[in-house]
Amino acid sequence: MRFALAGIIALTICRLSMASAVADESKILALENAWNQAQLHHDAAALDNLLPHSFIYTDYDGTVMNKEQFLADLKDPSYQASLIANENVRVFTYNGAAIVVGTYHTKGKYKGRAFEHWGRFTDTWVFDNGLWQCVASHTTLVKK
User: For 85-133, what is each residue's pLDDT tens digit?
Assistant: 999 999 999 999 999 999 999 999 999 999 999 999 999 999 999 999 9
Q: What is the pLDDT of residue 16?
A: 43
Q: What is the pLDDT of residue 5?
A: 47
- Give yes or no for a contact between 142 and 119, defined as CB atoms under 8 angstroms apart: yes
How many domains in the chain? 1
For residue 120, give the nearest of 100, 93, 142 by alpha carbon. Answer: 142
Q: pTM of the prediction?
A: 0.83
CATH number at residue 88: 3.10.450.50
Range of the domain at 87: 2-143
Tell me the H-state helices in the chain. Answer: 2-40, 44-48, 67-74
Measure Cα distances from 15 to 21, 29, 51, 69 in Å.
10, 21, 31, 42
DSSP letter (8 states) at residue 49:
T
- Note the maximum CA span of the chain: 73
pLDDT tens column, 26-68: 999 999 999 999 999 999 999 999 999 999 999 999 999 999 9
Burial class (CB within 10 angstroms; exposed 0-12, middle 13-18, buried 19+) of 126: middle
- Give yes or no for a contact between 70 and 78, defined as CB atoms under 8 angstroms apart: no
- Give yes or no for a contact between 44 and 68, defined as CB atoms under 8 angstroms apart: no
Distance of CA 46 to the CA centre of its chain: 13
